[in-house]
Structure 1
Amino acid sequence: MTVKHRSIKFGFSFFAVAFAMTASGAVVANAQVPPPGCPTMPMGPGGPGGAPAGMPPQNPLMDNKVANAKPGEIRLMVTAAFMDPIEAVKAQAEKAIGRPIFVEYGSARGGLKDEILAGQDFEVAVLLPDVNAQLFQQGKLAPGEHELAKVDVAIALRGDVNVDVSTPEALKKTLLGASVVRYSPTGVALPTVTKLLNDLGIADSIKDANKRCAPPGPPSFAPPAPGEYEINLFPLSEVVRMKGMKNLGRVIAPFQVPEQINAVIGAHAKDRAAAEALVKFLQSAALDTPIKNVGMYRD
Structure 2
Amino acid sequence: MLITRRPFIIFCLTIIVSTLSVSSWSAELKVMNSGGFTAAYKALAPKFEQATGNTLSTAWGPSMGAAPEAIPNRLQRGEPADVVIMVGYALDELIKQGKVIPGSRAALADSRIGMVVRAGSAKPDISTPEALKKTLLQAKSIAYSDSASGVYIERELFKKLGIEDQVKGKAKMIPKIPVAGVIASGDYELGFQQVSELLPVAGADFVGKIPESLQSVTVFAAGIPTGAQHPDEARQLIRFLASPEAAPEVNKSGLDSLPSLSK
| TM-score computed with the length of structure 1 as normaliser | 0.64
Aligned length, in residue pairs: 217
The 1-side partners of 2:243 and 2:167 are apart by: 41
The alpha-carbon distance between structure 1 residues 247 and 273, as it changes in their structure 2 partners (threshold 3 A), is: same
Question: CA shift at 1:156, angstroms?
Answer: 0.6
Letter in 2 for 1:236: V
Q: How does 1:110-259 map to 2 (within 5 A)?
A: 110=65, 111-144=70-103, 145-158=105-118, 160-188=121-149, 190-191=151-152, 194-209=155-170, 223=186, 230-259=189-218
More helix by share: 2
**CA offsets per residue over residues 240-268 of structure 1, 9 Å max, x none?**
22322221111012211221111111111
The 2-side partners of 1:162 and 1:123 are apart by: 42
Question: CA shift at 1:172, angstroms?
Answer: 1.9
Do residues 287 (structure 1) and 246 (structure 2) align? yes
Residues 111 and 217, structure 2, Cα contact 8 Å, conserved in 1 = yes
Do residues 74 (structure 1) and 23 (structure 2) align? no
Structure 2 unaligned residues grouped into runs of 5+: 1-26, 173-181
Q: Which moved more, 1:85-94 or 1:108-117?
A: 108-117
Letter in 2 for 1:275: A
Structure number, greater radius of gyration:
2
The alpha-carbon distance between structure 1 residues 267 and 188, as it changes in their structure 2 partners (threshold 3 A), is: farther
Q: Which moved more, 1:114-123 or 1:77-86?
A: 114-123
Residues 89 and 286, structure 1, Cα contact 8 Å, conserved in 2 = no
Question: CA shift at 1:192, angstroms?
Answer: 5.4
Do residues 269 (structure 1) and 220 (structure 2) align? no
The 2-side partners of 1:189 and 1:93 are apart by: 32
Do residues 91 (structure 1) and 9 (structure 2) align? no
The 2-side partners of 1:116 and 1:85 are apart by: 23
**CA offsets per residue over residues 116-166 of structure 1, 9 Å max, x none?**
234333110111221012111221100131111112111111273452222
Structure 1 unaligned residues grouped into runs of 5+: 1-71, 212-218
**CA offsets per residue over residues 248-296 of structure 1, 9 Å max, x none?**
1110122112211111111110121221121122122331110121232
The 1-side partners of 2:251 and 2:197 are apart by: 13
The alpha-carbon distance between structure 1 residues 180 and 99, as it changes in their structure 2 partners (threshold 3 A), is: same
The 2-side partners of 1:292 and 1:162 are apart by: 23
| TM-score computed with the length of structure 2 as normaliser | 0.72
The 2-side partners of 1:120 and 1:188 are apart by: 27
Question: CA shift at 1:94, angstroms?
Answer: 2.0
Residues 153 and 192, structure 1, Cα contact 8 Å, conserved in 2 = no
Residues 78 and 106, structure 1, Cα contact 8 Å, conserved in 2 = yes
The alpha-carbon distance between structure 1 residues 172 and 222, as it changes in their structure 2 partners (threshold 3 A), is: same
Letter in 1 for 2:142: V
Report the aligned-residue RMSD.
2.7
Letter in 2 for 1:92: K
Match 1:100 to one of 55, 58, 65: 55
Q: Which residue of 2 aligns with 1:47?
A: none
Letter in 2 for 1:267: T
Residues 117 and 135, structure 1, Cα contact 8 Å, conserved in 2 = no
Question: CA shift at 1:198, angstroms?
Answer: 2.1
3-state DSSP of counterpart to 1:160: coil
Percent same amino acid at aligned positions?
27
3-state DSSP of counterpart to 2:102: coil
